[in-house]
Structure 1
């Protein structure tokens, strides 16, 4: 089970996250591309850290919404979404070429990620934005009880999927992430986070917010390094998964 983390979300004099502290303990870095957060200098610094630590680099494109941190859905045509994906991924790839890295996958950010998982047209638009890129990156999507529809669309386009679960989010019995507005939807207790990840790694399942068991076939799990406590939890997870 690989650990992935959203990174490079500072810009200008505004700082977010403890990237340098968390990057030794992850396998995959989802690097913001300037629309919901980041700027060219932050992108370059984050790419250099990932290359130095031999961490896989992924583009983390979102809606053009720094004020809302990319968490607001913004209506776009399918072509516009394809352009958003290609534009931001291409920008990160150009930075990677300066420092010996490569964009290996794309994980849409925030509202765009959520939107593509509920709207096939948006999902197809994201896929279309990747098909002409060279080398063609994989696409990270939410692991669900049945990903066959998404896999069929991606396979037809020649795009490999990476299925992602979340370390600190509760799941509904239907296999969706519980809304952040719901009590208990976000885990803050390190023991609870570690339990969920190890349950995924060993048994391929999570305990839902209602107490049932949900089977999830995940390739990677998303963790966060926003504060010293969360970084310490990620380190514990990394050591447990890599004894």
Structure 2
């Protein structure tokens, strides 16, 4: 049976600011990327998000970003690889503390926004993040959107890496994503078609009609999209029809290791 993970960015509220639809979305996903307090999130939101994930049996992952709440971690910063490594260790350590307090474990790491872009553009920064993960826990999974970063992660024998695809964003023919400034509603049936295509065939259609390879074992859904719950419900229905199983990242990696 084909199995795949669904991940979503979570815990991005902070103070009086409410972001995303965590409570509504959490029942439909298998892995949660939890903000570490730099681009979004705060200690109280981290605690609540970890508890919500545990309640629904969702795998917990760190979603580290650059220290830029005003720009939501999406603005470039002139940070050295050493500094980025420290940022990741710091945020991963904070989330690990809350996870341990709840009797849970952190399973993966997925960089956010401009930090992710830095990794895509600089091998030194990408390696700094891999080394930060290994500094804290070599059993963690690296969740990669960019194939170049994924291939760098694959060079580390002690680090498991999983490639992810997107169904609520469009792809260009070169496999880069088209990211708009604001999330708009996604056609649930189109998203479900893409999800099934990636799960079964590792491919998706780009905006110009070209079929491109997206060999993903995890699908990212944006929880702040206006109709994210409807999209997730439709994907679940289609997966049930197609016999596609949902598994957390740690379960997928464990299954792969056994095979």
TM-score scaled by length of structure 1: 0.91
| Residues 225-234 or 125-134, more deviating | 225-234
In 2, are the aligned partners of 1:58 and 1:104 still within 8 Å (CA)?
yes
Residue 6 in structure 1 maps to residue 9 in structure 2: yes
> In the superposition, relative to structure 1, how do residues 152 and 194 fare at CA in structure 2: closer, same or farther (>3 Å)?
closer
The corresponding residue for 2:234 is: 236
In 2, are the aligned partners of 1:3 and 1:238 still within 8 Å (CA)?
no
> In the superposition, relative to structure 1, how do residues 228 and 186 fare at CA in structure 2: closer, same or farther (>3 Å)?
closer
TM-score scaled by length of structure 2: 0.85
Residue 202 in structure 1 maps to residue 200 in structure 2: yes
Per-residue deviation, residues 75-109 of structure 1 (Å, max 9, x unmatched): 11111111001000000000111111111100001
The corresponding residue for 1:30 is: 33
Cα deviation for residue 186 of structure 1 reads 7.2
The corresponding residue for 2:142 is: 139
Instruction: Note the residue ranges of structure 1 that are not aligned, 5 or more in a row.
Output: none
The one of 162, 183, 191 aligned to 1:193: 191
**Cα separation, 1, equivalents of 2:152 and 2:36:** 24
Per-residue deviation, residues 124-161 of structure 1 (Å, max 9, x unmatched): 010111112136311111153x7773244333xx2110
Cα deviation for residue 230 of structure 1 reads 1.3
Aligned-pair Cα RMSD in Å: 2.0
**Cα separation, 2, equivalents of 1:42 and 1:152:** 32
Q: What number of residue pairs does the alignment pair up? A: 237
Residue 130 in structure 1 maps to residue 128 in structure 2: no
**Cα separation, 1, equivalents of 2:146 and 2:198:** 11
Instruction: Note the residue ranges of structure 2 that are not aligned, 5 or more in a row.
Output: 242-259
The one of 96, 105, 119 aligned to 1:102: 105
